[in-house]
Amino acid sequence: MQNTTSLIIKGESGLQACIYALKRHTMDFIEHIVPVFIQFGRNNYMELFLHHLRSFFPEKALYLSLAHDIFALIINTSVGKLTLLNSMVLDQWLQIAIR
């Protein structure tokens, strides 16, 4: 298991460290990582959820499962819910699911 020190030394960003943790321990950390994602993506949910997360989860089924889990947590926060609705991410997730 890669420790956080090696991630920092390699120049990985905090966002990438969170995505690595989420990928490795999805259900153990998701409720703690989603609020961090809300802060990282506050101004650009499209880039966060459709570029960064998608690049770490290239398998469509796994990515959509993660999107489902993230969605369930984001809609519980007023800021996250409003930003998600205004960002068109939901529309993109639906397009990916339909394809």
pLDDT in tens, the chain (99 residues): 445 444 444 545 888 888 888 888 877 888 888 888 888 887 788 888 898 889 989 999 999 998 998 888 888 888 778 888 888 888 999 999 998
CB under 8 A, 24+ apart: contacts of 18-26: 19/52, 19/53, 19/56, 20/56, 22/66, 23/56, 23/57, 26/66, 26/69
Q: Which two tokens stand for residue 96?
A: 């990916």
Predicted model pTM? 0.75
Q: Give the total number of structural domains in the chain.
A: 1
Contacts of 69 (CB under 8 A, 6+ apart): 26, 27, 30
**Pair 66, 89: CB distance under 8 Å:** no
- Residue 11 structural domain: 4-98
